[in-house]
Amino acid sequence: MSGRVLRAQPDGSELIVYGALSLEANQIDPMSLIFEAKRVKGFWLSEWLRHRSVLGQFKLGRHVQSLLADDLKTEVHARMPLEKLASALEQYAANMTSGKILLVP
C-alpha cells in the first residue's frame, strides 16, 4: 500500500511509514524518489517520545485521551480468554481491520 500512496502524492512530498501490519516489505518505485523528489521516512513512537520532556509527554497524553472518545476510537471485534491466545492470534491475523481482539482473564 505504501507504494500506491507514494505514487498518488505530489512531487516533493514525504511518506511516513509508522506501521507494519502486513509484515511485508514496502514496494517503492525508485523513479518516484529520483525524478519526483519524494521521500520515505520511518516513524517509531517510542523513540520519538524519548526526546520529549516529561511535561511534553503529559500534555500529549492528555490530548490523545481527548481524541480517544471519537477520532481515535478503537473497535473491539472480540474478547477472548488468555487460554485461547492461539485462536485469538489466528482470528486477528485473518482480518486485522475488523477490530481488536482483547485478551481477558
Q: How many domains does the chain have?
A: 1
Per the CB < 8 A criterion, the answer to whether 78 and 52 are in contact is no
Does residue 88 lie within any of the structural domains? yes
Q: Is residue 41 part of a domain?
A: no
| 99 lies in some domain | yes
Q: What's the chain's average pLDDT? A: 90
Asked whether residue 22 carries a pLDDT value surpassing 80, the answer given is no
Task: Give the pLDDT confidence score for residue 72 in this predicted structure.
Answer: 77
- The residue segments making up the domain with residue 99 are 74-105
Instruction: State the amino acid at position 38 in one-letter form.
Output: K
**Residue 105 pLDDT greater than 90, yes or no:** no
The radius of gyration of the chain's CA atoms, rounded to the nearest angstrom, is: 18
Contacting residues for 87 by C-beta, under 8 A, at least 6 apart? 80
- What is residue 37's predicted lDDT score, i.e. its pLDDT? 96
pLDDT for 34 beyond 80: yes
Stretch 47-63: mean pLDDT:
93
Question: Could you tell me if residue 34 is inside a domain?
Answer: no
